[in-house]
Amino acid sequence: MLRVVLSVLLAVVLLLGCSGNAPKSGIDISGMDKTVRPQEDFYRYVNGTWLEKTEIPADRSRYGSFTVLYEEAQVNLRKIIEESANMENKKPGSPEQKVGDFYTSYMDSSQIEALGLKPLEKELERIAAVKTDDDLRNLMAHFMMIGVQLPFTAWVDQDAKQSDQYIVYFHQSGLGLPDRDYYFKKDEKFSEIRDKYVKHIEKIFKLAGISDGASLARKIMKIETKLAQNHWTRAETRDRDKAYNKFAVNKLDRLTPKFNWAAFMAAIDAGEANNVIIRQPSYIKAFGKILKKVSLADWKAYYTWKLLDEFAPDLPAAFVDANFEFYSKTLRGVEKNRPRWKRAVAATNNVLGEVVGQIYVQRHFKPEAKKRMVELVNNLKLAFKESIDELDWMSEETKKQAKAKLAKFNTKIGYPDKWKDYSGLEIKADDLIGNLLRSRVFEHHREIKKLGKPIDRDEWFMTPQTVNAYYSPNMNEIVFPAAILQPPFFNFEADDAVNYGAIGAVIGHELTHGFDDQGRKSDGDGNLREWWTEEDATKFTERARLMIEQYESYYPLGDSMHINGKLTLGENIADLGGLTIAYKAYKKSLKGKEAPVIDGYTGDQRFFMGIAQVWRNKYRDEALRQRLLTDSHSPPRYRVLGALSNMPEFYAAFDVKPGDPMYRDENKRVKIW
């Protein structure tokens, strides 16, 4: 299945505003630990009691502000979806019929148990029928359309250097473990995970009635290890210049002589595409060699595993339990699977997101929120422009280009102006796997049809009910879905200071992503090109190096695993830049007046407490370990400590002095935006 893949920023969104005669501080005083000095550990000072008293729910790998809002959204979505499911005499093909029948198909566990593997019989027969290299290639094309993992993945997006055109991107894939490092790290934890993974594959084969599962599992692990050996690291893949490699389709066979790319493109209905972008050419070349060395029989075993693995969460309970045991319990430390209704809501949301989203917006998004958010974004843009003017390390030439890009930023808030059309998708109340298969083919063709068409600038890549936000470098836009613009983040009663420290910092974060180490490489039209002077680019890199060194000194688990400073660089730059710009906007909002002291804290103190409170979060060790290897965001605690320890305004607000743990020498502090 082709999917649009963008650099999706995990962000928190709050809305500025207050009501009544006496604004509240917006700080959860009960969650603080005042036995900790703010100069020692500001994150624990603001959140320490909450951290001590809060238990991670058994069905979660982490818990915090985002989780609370996500769970509230799930309850709201359940009500919407179940109303459709319980509706009588639904018109065939109507939104209510599609939503209600999909949910019904997921909740009908008796039907799922009775069917067993029958819904996948045709797919298994398709694998068994493979006799030649051409058959294998056609199988891969079909599996791409139904969302089964291949050694590479693909999606349609704007051409990074010609942002007015769509193109197909190819990216390394094929691994069952979360990252290449899981295959090679030698310490005991990762060795144990590898052993359990092989046993998990064997167990799934046994449940499927496939003999010799132990031998097949070892062969599959061997194939994945070969693929992993040639994967670029996540930090390497972040480099947008190195990952932009345009190839003519008729020349791709030079990378993989045994794989006919033109035939593959035709099989996924993209035969008219003349060019594609290969993000990791050396990996694709290595895949070509692996393709030749691995026998057809072993590839068939590999794809049998990938098929069963993809649909295991939607099969009878034995498959669901086995899938949970490895992917959730072993890899992320989750103790208990989510209730079936939660999984059904999530699945319905994945398949029919904008259908459900239209009702969600009507019930749970206030029009005044969108209006106020637009005003606040504009305030932050103005503060960012002034900050660019004041930079003492950047030339006037580059400043002019930066301001031109900032002026072209587009903002989307709440929900799309134009909703996606699902009229061509067939949904049945008694056919869960069939619904999933048809949905994925439907979405694949939705994406493929973009090729050769004008860019759809109204399109959203998240649903309104998503508790998230993102920045798109190709679109040069920031997007805030409705679900995150509400309590506990959207606080109408909170004082300005804490809201600027929260929503202001996050909007500033989003804006800064257009100017982080990778976002800065695109211009205001979303085109990847060099618009910096060589001297300014060098100065930027020197400042970024300090940030890499800073974050690699943090060891969240207390063992040998530190934060990957190169992988998280863009997010760390955006955290610091966003908070810096938000502080500037807050001070301007006071218009020279002193902020009131509320709950014993000055305005500046509440500003910094606002961002620390936003990022309160707890992780299971297993989940945090996975995050350190795979996530471009630093763990929440270090998003707070790392950014604040670089800000002289924080030092002044809390009297941070040399010798305090929060203190960094001036020559080591990072100042970019």
pLDDT tens for 155-206 read: 999 999 999 999 999 999 999 999 999 999 999 999 999 999 999 999 999 9
Residue range 541-547: average pLDDT?
Answer: 97
DSSP string of 359-395, one letter each residue = HHHHHH--HHHHHHHHHHHHHHHHHHHHHHHH-SSS-
Are 559 and 541 in contact by the 8 Å Cβ rule? The answer is no
Give the 3-state secondary structure of residue 280.
coil
Over the chain, what is the mean pLDDT? Answer: 94
Domain locations along the chain: 29-76+345-416+460-668, 114-337
Taking the chain, what is the end-to-end CA distance rounded to the nearest angstrom?
Answer: 39
What whole-number distance in Å separates Cα of residue 165 and Cα of residue 354? 25
pLDDT of residue 488: 58
CATH class of 29-76+345-416+460-668: alpha beta
Give the 3-state secondary structure of residue 485.
coil
Torsional sign, CA 124, 179, 342, 320: positive
Q: Is the pLDDT of residue 4 over 80?
A: no
Q: Residue 288 to residues 256, 282, 292, 293, 305: CA-CA distances in angstroms? A: 4, 10, 7, 9, 21
Q: Strands of 246-248's sheet, edge to edge? A: 152-159, 162-172, 275-278, 246-248
pLDDT tens per residue across span 130-141: 999 999 999 999
Q: Is the pLDDT of residue 21 over 70?
A: no
Are 237 and 280 in contact by the 8 Å Cβ rule? The answer is yes
* Six-digit token string for 629: 């290897």
pLDDT of residue 487: 63
The reply to whether 29-76+345-416+460-668 and 114-337 are identical in fold is no
Give the 3-state secondary structure of residue 92.
coil
pLDDT of residue 1: 43
What whole-number distance in Å separates Cα of residue 490 and Cα of residue 14? 4
Residue range 582-605: average pLDDT?
Answer: 95
- Nearest 5°: the CA angle 305, 310, 316 is 95
Q: Tell me which of 558 and 528 has the higher pLDDT.
A: 528
Q: Residue 89 to residues 92, 106, 348, 661: CA-CA distances in angstroms? A: 9, 20, 20, 66
* Six-digit token string for 77: 């979505």
Looking up tokens 């809390």, which residue turns up?
654
pLDDT of residue 493: 76
CA dihedral 13, 15, 16, 17 (to 10 degrees): -160
* Six-digit token string for 315: 């099969």
pLDDT tens per residue across span 294-335: 999 999 999 999 999 999 999 999 999 999 999 999 999 999
**Length reported for the chain:** 673
Q: Is the pLDDT of residue 341 over 60?
A: yes
What whole-number distance in Å separates Cα of residue 590 and Cα of residue 587? 5
Residue 251: count other Cβ atoms within 10 Å of its Cβ. Answer: 10
Looking up tokens 């295991």, which residue turns up?
312
Let me know if 22 is exposed, middle or buried by CB neighbors in 10 A (0-12, 13-18, 19+): exposed
* Six-digit token string for 461: 């890549």
Q: Which residues are catalytic?
A: 510, 575
- CATH of 114-337 among 3.40.50.9100, 3.40.640.10, 1.10.1380.10, 3.30.420.40: 1.10.1380.10
Torsional sign, CA 525, 527, 529, 530: positive
Q: Which of 466-475, 520-529, 628-637 has the lowest mean pLDDT?
A: 466-475
Q: Residue 672 to residues 198, 476, 535, 541, 574: CA-CA distances in angstroms? A: 46, 20, 15, 10, 10
